[in-house]
Amino acid sequence: MASGGGNNRNGTHRNSLKGTTTTSTVSTDKPLSVNSNPSKPAFKNKSSPLTGASSGLRKSSPGSLGGGAAKDDAGVPGRVRVAVRLRPRNAEESVADADFADCVELQPELKRLKLRKNNWDTDTYEFDEVLTEFASQKRVYEVVAKPVVEGVLDGYNGTIMAYGQTGTGKTYTLGRLGEEDTANRGIMVRAMEDILAEVSPEIDSVLVSYLQLYMESLQDLLDPTNDNISIVEEPKSGDVSLPGATLVEIRDQQSFLELLRLGEAHRHAANTKLNTESSRSHALLMVHVKRTVKGREPAHSSDNGNSTSMARSLRPPLVRKGKLVVVDLAGSERIDKSGSDGHTREEAKSINLSLSALGKCINALAENSAHVPVRDSKLTRLLRDSFGGTARTSLVITVGPSPRHRGETASTIMFGQRAMKVENMLKLKEEFDYKSLARRLDIQLDKLIMEHERKQKAFEVEIERITAEAQNRISEAERNYADAVEKERLKYQKDYMESIKKLEEKWMMNLQNQGNERKMVHIAGEVAEVKKLLSKETSLRKAAEEEVDNLKSQLAQLKMSEASANSEILKLRKMVEDEVCQKEKLEGEISMLQSQLLHLSFEADETRKRLDRGGPGKVPGRLDSPVSQVRSQLKDSGNGEKASVAKLFEQVGLQKILSLLEAEDADVRIHAVKVVANLAAEETNQQKIVEAGGLKSLLMLLGSSEDETIHRVAAGAIANLAMNEKNRELIMSQGGISLLSTTASHAKDPQTLRMVAGAIANLCGNDKLQTKLRGEGGIKALLEIVKCGHPDVLAQVARGIANFAKCESRAATQGSKTGRSLLIEDGALPWIVQNANSDASPIRRHNELALCHLAQHEVNAKDMISEGALWELVRISQDCPREDIRTLAHRTLASSPDFIAGLKRLRINY
């Protein structure tokens, strides 16, 4: 029941607490004149007085409510509608009242009820509907309940209530289940039928509570243990709720009937327990209908015409919540009459406290009283929305015909009359259903996520498939490529091997031819040179012989003069000695020429014999000089016999020969160096040459001379001396590397380079000198030398590199050398790799060896792989004619993790 203020609208008025004044004539207990009924305007509807306002309401759908449906202060006036229903005489009345007329007379067409006061006087009352004893349950439903039910479906609260004395048909009207005869179905059953027919089970909901109020205790008829339900009123909206009450969702009529039956059974059991009857308690059925408004803008957002579809999809659904309350009140018989049922008067008062409070409230509302005692009872609290509130309320008052109960009937009629004056303000219960929007969006989101995941999965599967396919294609292409490469490689290898073989054969032949030719030319040249020297020598010897003869004769003269001429002799001897000094150069040259001649000669022994025979004794005193010896030898050699160089230097003296290296005469120097070179070729002489300072002289010659022949021969001699381990250290300590490098840089003759390279190559074979050799540019010098391209030179370079690599490898194995090979550091690797497969077998062999040595050490592996040495190693391991190198290469490849990885990466099947 409303407790707020009201206002006049369009000439109609509201009888509620809210109303300030009312100008209408208020009906009292006195009969009303037809025209004075304040509710008259609402009766104008032709079809049915009770449905009149309702159909008006239905026509004025929310949209037509002036956009005010959702506004708190808006509403349409809706007076409480009251119908009166007369119960037919029952069996007892038919007998007991057989001789009496009914106390009421109905004029349904005039909607009037006449209450007999006595035999001659009646009071006339007008109601919204007058239902005779012949009115069918269907008709009662249609005029009393249907408009209310429709209102509930439209989002308005509704109340249908039966009021009347016990036994007058309240329960019959409201609660009949009509199981035996469907025509007897009461309002509850029919209302639910209509509701269920209208709602959509998917989006709408129908929830039901069923309660009993007895002696101010609210019991749950759907859960008997729940017998003290509290009423919660929301102060702002005035809405009443029962959070403790069981709410059952109804989906079909059958389950509703079962629920009613269950409620009735519980009611019966509860009343038995409390020693009461259902007539003493109020039964309340509450039906909560929530409907989603389809395809309609909410009333208060309808002005906004340009909302986008996006916004529309995000707009929460609009729901309307109508609550139908069907109240089967306790019997309205007067309290004083009910003392007979065993209750005390006080108890009876308490039992009907709610009912009397309801009467008081309705009176107050009907009279626009300032105070409506809503809070006096639970019933009035529960029904605050039904009277003077926002609900559409339809009251049916039930009366019996018996004149014995005239008083009760009159009281009931008066209650109905007063109730008719109560004006409600109907309000649409419309709101946005954010929860449902959230749910919907959640579902949509889930769907989208699922869809996304499904697509993602499909995408991944597709990617995987494509990847696998691509992988297959790649591997197939790679396989094909590898096969093709392998085929090509084998073919080229075969061709290569064949051509190598051919070339080698050719090379060998060429070499033989060239060797022979070169030897011949060389010998011829040498012979011509020797011949020339010989003729020169011969003339010199002749001169010398003449001199000797002269001296001899002088000596003879001197001897003859003996003692007297002793001083003269000494003088002469001195002269002879001077002469000897002057001739030394010539002698050196002679000896050199001799040595060369002898070196080429194969008749050393005969020469030695001759020398033995001729003996030093033949020449007396200081005449036993190199010059004279050479001379005598040359004289002897005229017979075609040549002394060996060894013999020569034994006889002439190494010192003397070496001194000729510094002779002023270039030719002498050349010949001297040749002699020394030849001597150095003999291992037995090497030590002596070095001890005599020959090495130093040779090195000096490299630095001081500009003659390439001297360079070539000296380098050759140094190379020979470098065969000896000790000498290598000496050469190095005396700046041999830089001298050799400089020599190489000025050389024009490949043979010079060959000698230099040979010397460096020999130096490369020294474990201790590796770092020094490299530090002084030995490796760089070799790499410079290769630019000449001559195979003989390259072979020497390769030998040097191989020597170096071998020593280095040994040092690394012993642990005295760490880090990358110095050869790699100095950039020799590309040349080695390039020439590892050289057509010239010496070059190839040395380079192969060098590669194998380098490969021994993992630290070199990466560079080797990147420089392409891996291919060469594979080739060496397969094709190298030398088994030891082949095995070494193979072992290295098989044991080095880097090479194994490299082989794999380069897809070399090994």
Query: Which amino acids are annotated as binding site, given as ranges?
Result: 164-171
Does 169 bind ligand ADP (CB under 6 A)? Our answer is yes
C-beta of 139: minimal distance to ligand ADP in Å? 11
Per DSSP, the residues of 256-276 read HHHHHHHHHHHHHHHHHHTT-
39 binds, among ligand ADP, Mg ion, none (CB under 5 to 8 A by kind): none
Rounded to 5°, angle at Cα 51 from 50 and 54: 115
Could you tell me which stretch among 171-179, 413-421, 454-462, 727-735 binds Mg ion (CB under 5 A)? Answer: 171-179
Q: Does 168 bind ligand ADP (CB under 6 A)?
A: yes
Binding-site size for ligand ADP (CB under 6 A) equals 14
Residues 232, 228: Cα–Cα separation, whole Å:
13
Reading the block at residue 211, the tokens are 């309660």
Q: How far is the CB of 419 from ligand ADP (least distance, A)?
A: 17
Q: Which does 172 bind (CB under 5 to 8 A by kind): Mg ion, ligand ADP, none?
A: ligand ADP
Contact 863, 873 (CB under 8 A): no
332 touches Mg ion by CB under 5 A: no
Contacts (Cβ under 8 Å, ≥6 apart) of 653: 626
Window contacting Mg ion (CB under 5 A); options: 9-17, 163-171, 452-460, 899-907: 163-171
Select from 172, 210, 387, 871 the one that contacts ligand ADP (CB under 6 A): 172
- The residues in 265-284 that bind ligand ADP, with binding defined as CB under 6 A, are 279
In whole angstroms, how close is the CB of 146 to Mg ion at the nearest point?
Answer: 22
Considering only CA atoms, which of 679, 656, 685, 652 is closest in space to residue 668?
A: 656
Contacts of 156 (CB under 8 A, 6+ apart): 57, 322, 390, 391, 392, 426, 427, 428, 429
Q: Based on CB atoms, which residue is closest to Mg ion, 267 or 631?
A: 267
Per DSSP, the chain holds a count of helices (H) and strands (E) of 35, 17
Q: Which residue is nearest to ligand ADP (CB)?
A: 169
Is residue 649 part of the contact set for ligand ADP (CB under 6 A)? no
Residues 727, 732, 736, 737, CA torsion sign: positive
How far is it, in rounded angstroms, from Cα 604 to Cα 76? 153
CB 145, min distance to ligand ADP, A? 15
Interaction between residue 171 and Mg ion (CB under 5 A): yes
Among residues 82, 80, 81, 103, the alpha carbon closest in space to that of 93 is found at 103
Q: Cα separation of 738 and 445, whole Å?
A: 85
Query: Which of these, 452, 466, 282, lies nearest to 381 by C-alpha position?
Result: 282
Binding test (CB under 6 A) with ligand ADP, winner from 159, 352, 398, 727: 398
| Of 277 and 665, CB closest to Mg ion | 277
Q: Which position's Cβ is nearest Mg ion?
A: 171
Q: Is 411 near ligand ADP (CB under 6 A)? A: no
CB-nearer residue toward ligand ADP: 355 or 428: 355
Binder of ligand ADP out of 75, 164, 388, 389 (CB under 6 A): 164
Q: How far is the CB of 84 from ligand ADP (least distance, A)?
A: 12
Element (H, E) at 432: strand 430-432
Stretch that binds ligand ADP, among 164-172, 647-655, 670-678, 877-885 (CB under 6 A): 164-172
Q: Which does 398 bind (CB under 5 to 8 A by kind): Mg ion, ligand ADP, none?
A: ligand ADP
Minimum Å distance from CB 95 to ligand ADP? 15
When asked if residue 390 is in the footprint of Mg ion (CB under 5 A), the reply is no
**CA distance to 149, 188, 206, 294, 674, per residue, from 200 (Å):** 16, 20, 10, 11, 126
Helix (H, G, I), strand (E, B) or coil at 776: coil
166 binds ligand ADP (CB under 6 A): yes
- Least Cα distance to 792 among 846, 717, 828 occurs for 846
Q: Which is nearer to Mg ion, 412 or 770 (CB)?
A: 412
Question: Could you say which of 78, 151, 167, 716 contacts ligand ADP (CB under 6 A)?
Answer: 167
Q: Does 31 bind ligand ADP (CB under 6 A)?
A: no
Q: Is 402 in the site for ligand ADP (CB under 6 A)?
A: no
Amino acid at 783: L
Which residues are part of a known binding site for ATP? 164-171
Count Cβ atoms within 10 A of the Cβ of residue 581 and give its class: 0-12 exposed, 13-18 middle, 19 or more buried. Answer: exposed
Q: In whole angstroms, how large is the CA radius of gyration of the chain?
A: 71
> Residue from 79, 170, 323, 642 that binds ligand ADP (CB under 6 A)?
170
Q: Which residues bind Mg ion (CB under 5 A)?
A: 170-171
Q: Which residues bind ligand ADP (CB under 6 A)?
A: 87-88, 90, 164, 166-172, 279, 331, 398
